Chains A and B, each alone.
Chain A
Amino acid sequence: MTKDRVIGVDVGGTFTDLVTIDGETGAIKIAKTPTTLDNQAFGVINALDMADLDLGSVDLIVHGTTTTTNAVLERKLSKTGLITTAGFRDVLELGRRTRPQPYGMTGQFRPVIPRDLRLEVSQRMDATGAILTPLDERGVIQAVHDLLEAGCEALVIHFLHAYANPAHEQRAAEIAAEHWPNAFITMGHSLLSETREFERGVTAAVNGSVQPLLERYVTRLRNELGQKGYVGDILVMNGNGGMVSSRLVAREAAKTVMSGPASGVMAAAYTGRRAGETNLLTYDMGGTSTDVALIRDSTPSVSNEIEIEYAMPIHVPMVDVRTVGAGGGSIAYVDTAGLLQVGPASAGADPGPICYGKGGQRPTISDANMLLGRLNPGKLTAVAGGISRQQIAKIFATELGDAMGLDAQQSAEAVIRVANTKMAGAIRMVSLSLGADPRDFALFAFGGAGPLHAADLARELGVPRVLVPARPGMTNALGCVVADLRYDYVQTVNQPLGEGAVDRIQAEFAAQIAAGTAALAREAVTLKEVHQVFSVDMQFLGQSHVVRVPLATSTPTATELRQGFETVYWNRFKVELPDIRARIVNVNTSVIGISEPVDLSRLIDPAGRKTKLTVHERRPVVFDGTVHDTPIYWRDHLPRDAAFTGPAIVEQLDSTVVVPPGDHVTSGEDGNLIIHIGSAE
């Protein structure tokens, strides 16, 4: 099957976005509709209705859903039981002995599975996988019955050292399957066969507790779409940026957590590759969060050490998206030392910023953009419940200005400046922690508010260029359309580097390739080609952190491993340690099924473009303390080769692009705008 007509539909916190591309003509339709929180399927159907599509002619629907993310963050989970090694049922609650914040001796933690549903059976492996205590099979049966009796819908079996020897988990799962009424049985080693009992256990527990929810959701969605004449498969986005059939997705449901942000980063990588920008820092700012990720050689950074909130690690490979701020709703205040602070408190989506007109009374970043004229004040009357610009100005003057001796406009500029400083710092930290210098990257700005701040941030970071895609506010949905199939495998080996280790590693790679190839074969999507990506995680003996070493083949020699490790280590830390032995901790393979390329050239309808650069309107906008009479362009009307110099504002339905004075804009592939920082003539 080629992707003749593909629909990508992404459910976000506020909006459900849909993009559909006609494979033959490249014609693109988009739709945006409010998310329906109780049952996301309604929003999806609404978006399809809005786009007015004949589902009978659609070949493929790819879906990004926050069903599992929301369930985890709000702890609205299916009742799940745990069977674990005797003596260790509290591992999921003890965590790694930390506290939620460095200072302040308060805080609480709610384990994914409550204590009374965590049962123990007699069995034990040691760290080499040798069996010390055989599995008490009758104990397993008893525990299964007790958990069923307690009303559990999903079951997690998690034993110590199962990454080294999974035999007991497999046997216990086999026994449980004879009694458990459904397929929701998760073995601890099955999602990620890696050392660390808390992280592996929480990952498995999350998987179990969202499986029933996700299965019910996709089943309902398939039925709804079936009734509307859709006969194809629905693929669901995973947090690794790949997609998987809705018929298989629940088995590894934890992998769908945080898939929305991953989807946006995949779209950024794809758009960047087409535009010749292969190294990108992605900057996704919406109303309630700001997310950052790093793309090198068109490949997003992936991590299997993501913690989605305090003591909630989900250790499956995911696109490494870091939340660095609260988005446009971040609240500004003057602290008791008289210093302006922005965030981390947020007005959220409800009541949201003052300019939403839903009762918000605290100054936010969005309100500051509104006061400075960067956001269209004309929209206030359209969206807000009668909030005027004067009212916002008054709140800025009294809440912020009075304490600092500034007027409302100066206060708004201060809010933007402080917010940008903090966001730029956070982006630097993300970049550095991934071993990258931000100056070597272009900034890919998306989300409704990303393009509002991107040029200022780029200047702050020393980043030379900003790429603003054609549809910044639809990027996650676009990610669904361009996604590939992807299966990731991680196996802990813990071998000091030497000839013996090489054999072991090559054998692990072979097993991972076989598993990935088999998994791809189960999917009903025709692939253009299959890529295999190999890496090992290594460290010097005595260290606890690892670095990831990419490998060209699955048959590396000991010398190649050592050299690869030393190169990565030098690039990252500028340290050489020739006398210390290295160890291979994990062996990683990704098997990626590349789907047919998608043509993005019509993301902005060519018919709507004008032949000459036309100023839509002008309005006063504040930059650097000065009011500039600023041209406003309408994105859909820009000529294909538009070029102009700031100050300028580009408006479109899903976003606003701010071009400060001194920056120059050119047009690129696929309707992208490129802001060249400081290069206006």
Chain B
Amino acid sequence: MTVDPITLSVIQAGLQQACDEMDLSFSRAAFSPVIAEANDRSDGIYSATDGALIAQGAGGLPVFVGTMQHSTRVLIEMIAAGTVAAPQPDDIYIVNDPYLGGTHLMDVRFARPFYRNGKIFCWLSNTGHWPDTGGAVPGGFSASATSVEQEGLRLPPVRLFKQGVLDPEIYAIICSNIRVADQRIGDVKAQAAALMVGEERLNALLDRYGDDTVQKAIVELRDRAEAHMRSLIDEIPAGTYRSTAWIDSDGVVDAPLAIKLAITKTPGHLQFDFSQSSPPCLGPMNSVLATTLSSVYLAMRHIFPEVPISAGAFAPLEVLRPEGTFLDAHYPRPVSGCAAEVSQRIAEAVFAALVVPLPDRVTAAPAGTSGNFALGGFDPATGRDYVMYQLSGGGYGGNADHDGLSNGCSTIGISKAPPIEIMEQNFPVLYHKYALREGSGGSGRNRGGLGLEYEVELRRGTARASFVMDHGRFGPQGALGGQDGAPNEVRVLSAGQVHTPVHLSKEQDIALSAGDRVSVKTPGGGGFGDPADRDPDKTAEDRRLGRAD
């Protein structure tokens, strides 16, 4: 017997609700501002047999779409192989190993088996970005790391909670290897409590509709999501669509990395071939396979947002394993840049390829960098060390309907930027400017959105500045005749000298003294369509408002 379509809709809403409630619980109780304010976390439900994604919170960080199903699958396989201890009810595994279906080390995954009648019915899992997991630099984004050991503590799947009780020994090892460890207990408890919320809601759903019906509905929903995605894919004419997106450098060797993509459409199916991309790199701009896949999924979801997130939606998307490229990194390649930067460039490649057959759905390239500026130092006024992050937005690409949004968040994130006033409360810095970057949008029939421009001064003590950004060499690409957006610019004004990072958008540990300033200009979005076709009224308005020449 199949499940009737109404019960299906209701169970779909119920599964979604359980995930949304996990998301809510996690971010409200979390300590890390990255989780609480920036929503750099995600919660979902995964198949007991292969970890396939059943449902995921609507407000989860986009780059985690699809990564947890890989990490859950790997965990299930390792348990089956006996390389990881078998679960008991109320256990929670912790894992952050990037090569076991992850992103970078800071994204810490928890996985909890969900039991019904003594058997594992499914897995609940979540990911939260911890502010630090040890390694060479506070925060983990070492622009010059050449192996994963320099990036932080790597945890294989271990049971951090055993039958509901936090294992103090494992926790002590973690705390001895990370910075600001005293606050992490708040995040650990919040992350575990969110999985409990999911368990309660799932139990309620199963009690009401019956395990068998829900199980059938899960299978049916997966099939339907797959059919839905196939029908949307069929809007694309058959053929092969190619694109290239460039990463400035890996942070160690000053040479650009190419993502070369060929997307081949056959009926109901898209094949993504990245095999011509650059080989693995020395620095931290490698991507692990799970992140590469997830980046393709999130790009497709930006294009077809109406398909619910589930493994079925990804089934028609065949990503050929890009072995031998930097998009399929193996131990011990450093990977800290994959979640924040490489993922966005992969999405840009997908957009650039598909804007041709889908001009009404796809935009020109967005700024596509998280604009990570980290400042670590000692504040003599408080007597404490600090680590400050300024993550910035940039312009979105123009599209068929309108100009790109100015100062939008990263393609892979949905987070809010912190207010300047809060930055100045918490850190010894003073901003002199925080403004739209005039003239930065790529021109086009609809121009790219504007980037951001800011200048910040160190007021007291000494500090070290690090930058992990991108699009410093080439601006975000225009589409269908539109121009590229303005590239990223970083300047350090120290002791009367102006310093430009050798790698333009990446450099680590630049020493600053009180009075020194950092100036950042983030990329504008790519333009869409021929600039000659632009409505003259819009050009005049841009001039009047100082947005463009």
CB <8 Å contact, B13 and A421: yes
Q: B408 to chain A: which residues have CB within 8 Å? A: 97-99, 105, 107
Complex Cα–Cα for A544 and B306 (A): 32
Answer whether residue B59 sits at the interface, using C-beta atoms and an 8 A cutoff: yes
Q: A107 to chain B: which residues have CB within 8 Å? A: 396, 405, 408
CB <8 Å contact, A196 and B405: no
Answer whether residue A390 sits at the interface, using C-beta atoms and an 8 A cutoff: no
Q: Which of B9, B20, B180, B397 counts the most chain A CB atoms within 10 A? A: B9
Q: B392 to chain A: which residues have CB within 8 Å? A: 97
Q: In the assembled complex, how far is the CB of residue B451 from the closest CB belonging to chain A, in whole angstroms? A: 10
Complex Cα–Cα for A676 and B302 (A): 45
Answer whether residue A678 sits at the interface, using C-beta atoms and an 8 A cutoff: no
Q: Please choose the segment from A226-234, A332-340, A466-474 that sits at the chain B interface, where 4 or more of its residues have CB less than 8 A away.
A: A332-340
The secondary-structure label for the interface of chain A is loop
Q: Please choose the segment from B100-108, B282-290, B429-437, B498-506 that sits at the chain A interface, where 4 or more of its residues have CB less than 8 A away.
A: B429-437
Complex Cα–Cα for A91 and B547 (A): 15
Answer whether residue B402 sits at the interface, using C-beta atoms and an 8 A cutoff: yes
Contact with A along B409-445 (1 / 0, CB 8 A): 1010011110111101100001111111000000000
Task: List the A residue with the shortest CB-CB distance to B362.
Answer: A105
Q: A545 to chain B: which residues have CB within 8 Å? A: 27-28, 30, 36-37
Answer whether residue A542 sits at the interface, using C-beta atoms and an 8 A cutoff: yes
CB <8 Å contact, A197 and B5: no
Among A101, A196, A575, which residue has its beta carbon within 8 angstroms of that of B189? Answer: A575
CB <8 Å contact, A161 and B424: yes
Among B12, B58, B366, which residue has its beta carbon within 8 angstroms of that of A339? Answer: B12
- Knowing A97-B408, A341-B9, the reply to whether A90 touches B422 (Cβ < 8 A) is no
Q: How many B residues touch A, CB cutoff 8 Å? A: 86
Task: List the B residue with the shortest CB-CB distance to A94.
Answer: B407
Q: In the assembled complex, how far is the CB of residue B438 from the closest CB belonging to chain A, in whole angstroms? A: 10
Q: How many A residues touch B, CB cutoff 8 Å? A: 72
CB <8 Å contact, A108 and B405: yes
- Knowing A97-B408, A543-B36, the reply to whether A429 touches B5 (Cβ < 8 A) is no
Task: List the B residue with the shortest CB-CB distance to A569.
Answer: B29
Among A98, A126, A418, A541, which residue has its beta carbon within 8 angstroms of that of B430? Answer: A126
Answer whether residue B232 sits at the interface, using C-beta atoms and an 8 A cutoff: yes
Q: A339 to chain B: which residues have CB within 8 Å? A: 5, 8-9, 12, 224
CB <8 Å contact, B190 and A97: no
- Knowing A90-B434, A195-B421, A341-B9, the reply to whether A573 touches B231 (Cβ < 8 A) is no
Q: In the assembled complex, how far is the CB of residue A82 from the closest CB belonging to chain B, in whole angstroms? A: 14
Answer whether residue A577 sits at the interface, using C-beta atoms and an 8 A cutoff: yes
Complex Cα–Cα for A87 and B8 (A): 54
- Knowing A127-B425, A575-B193, the reply to whether A160 touches B407 (Cβ < 8 A) is no
Answer whether residue A540 sits at the interface, using C-beta atoms and an 8 A cutoff: yes
Among B9, B27, B545, which residue has its beta carbon within 8 angstroms of that of A116? Answer: B545
Q: In the assembled complex, how far is the CB of residue A577 from the closest CB belonging to chain B, in whole angstroms? A: 6
Contact with B along A221-243 (1 / 0, CB 8 A): 00000000000000000000000
Complex Cα–Cα for A414 and B13 (A): 14
CB <8 Å contact, B420 and A160: yes
Complex Cα–Cα for A96 and B37 (A): 11
Q: In the assembled complex, how far is the CB of residue A194 from the closest CB belonging to chain B, in whole angstroms? A: 10
Q: A338 to chain B: which residues have CB within 8 Å? A: 5, 224, 227
B residues near A (Cβ < 8 Å) are 5-6, 8-10, 12-14, 16-17, 20-21, 24-25, 27-31, 33, 36-37, 58-59, 62, 180, 182-183, 185-186, 189-190, 193, 224-225, 227-228, 231-232, 298, 301-302, 305-308, 351, 363, 366, 392-393, 396-397, 399, 401-403, 405-409, 411, 414-417, 419-422, 424-425, 430-436, 452, 455, 544-547
A residues near B (Cβ < 8 Å) are 87-91, 93-109, 114-116, 124, 126-127, 132, 160-161, 163, 195-199, 335-341, 404-406, 413-414, 417-418, 421-422, 425, 428-429, 432-433, 494, 540-545, 572-575, 577, 579-580
Closest 7 CB pairs of A and B: A97-B393, A337-B228, A103-B305, A97-B417, A337-B224, A87-B433, A96-B416
6 A-B residue contacts at CB 8 Å? A90-B435, A196-B422, A339-B5, A418-B6, A432-B25, A580-B182
